[in-house]
């Protein structure tokens, strides 16, 4: 079992249902005796939550959007994620940088190389390595089904109000990130029943040694 810090991100297009599984994962880690920090992006600190509010509701161009989500991420890493990992906690983050590549990169069509440069600047650690989640749970769902799930859900923000083609591109963005780093990504079939998805999430965490196997 891992006794050092563990960083797990949860990704997927809006409507894929990832948020409902984060709590179950947190409960499973706590039952295994781990201290869990549940957080989200954009957000997770007072400054980053202010930035979240702007990014989700204020009109801006995509470079501004990208710079803002990375500024929020920098603060979040410095104030919350790195200290938690240094303590040996489990960090469960509702979205991280893959969302920037998917939404700003593929969804908005923003320059992938510029995003890679920002990722390098923001996530480089003092030892020269790039901070990334140890594992990314990608809740993959047909954008058409996700749109149906979202339709009745809530007042849409700047992303949720985008057309289907936007989410098809975002989905492709996640697929591109997953194929560039297949070891980090765990592909979750989010179209299945809630209980089946939950079992699959826990199984993925167990098979990578992050959770003890008897908690199936």
b/e for 181-204, b at 16 or more Cβ within 10 A? eeebbbbbebeeeeeebbebbbeb
- Smallest distance, ligand TYD to C-beta of residue 10, A: 9
Q: Which strands make up the sheet holding 6-11, listed edge to edge?
A: 36-40, 90-94, 6-11, 135-140, 185-189
- The residue ranges of DSSP E strands in the chain, in sequence order, are 6-11, 36-40, 90-94, 135-140, 185-189
Could you give the dihedral angle defined by the CA atoms of residues 206, 211, 214 and 216, in that order, rounded to the nearest 10 degrees? -60
- Smallest distance, ligand TYD to C-beta of residue 69, A: 4
Nearest CB to ligand TYD, comparing residues 41 and 75: 41
Nearest CB to ligand TYD, comparing residues 66 and 205: 66
Nearest CB to ligand TYD, comparing residues 138 and 159: 159
- Smallest distance, ligand TYD to C-beta of residue 125, A: 20
Nearest CB to ligand TYD, comparing residues 5 and 173: 173
- Cβ distance 61 to 115 under 8 Å? no
- Smallest distance, ligand TYD to C-beta of residue 212, A: 29
Enumerate binding residues for ligand TYD (CB under 6 A).
14, 19, 41-42, 69, 94-95, 99-100, 103-104, 159-160
């Amino acid at each position: 079992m891992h006794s050092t810090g563990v960083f797990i991100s949860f990704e997927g297009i809006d409507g894929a249902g990832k948020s409902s599984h984060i709590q179950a994962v947190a409960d499973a880690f706590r039952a295994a005796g781990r201290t869990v920090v549940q957080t989200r992006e954009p957000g997770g600190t007072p400054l980053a939550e202010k930035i979240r509010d702007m990014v989700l509701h204020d009109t801006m161009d995509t470079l501004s959007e990208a710079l803002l989500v990375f500024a929020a991420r920098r603060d979040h890493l410095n104030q919350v994620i790195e200290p938690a990992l240094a303590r040996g906690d489990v960090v469960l983050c509702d979205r991280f940088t893959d969302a920037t590549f998917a939404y700003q990169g593929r969804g908005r069509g923003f320059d992938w190389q510029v995003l890679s440069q920002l990722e390098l600047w923001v996530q480089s650690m003092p030892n020269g390595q790039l901070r990334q989640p140890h594992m990314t749970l990608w809740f993959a769902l047909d954008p058409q089904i996700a749109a149906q799930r979202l339709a009745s859900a809530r007042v849409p923000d700047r992303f949720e109000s985008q057309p289907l083609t936007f989410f098809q591109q975002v989905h492709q963005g996640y697929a591109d990130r997953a194929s560039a780093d297949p070891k980090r990504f765990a592909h979750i079939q989010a179209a299945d029943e809630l209980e089946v998805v939950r079992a699959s999430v826990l199984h993925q965490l167990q098979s990578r040694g992050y959770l003890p196997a008897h908690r199936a």
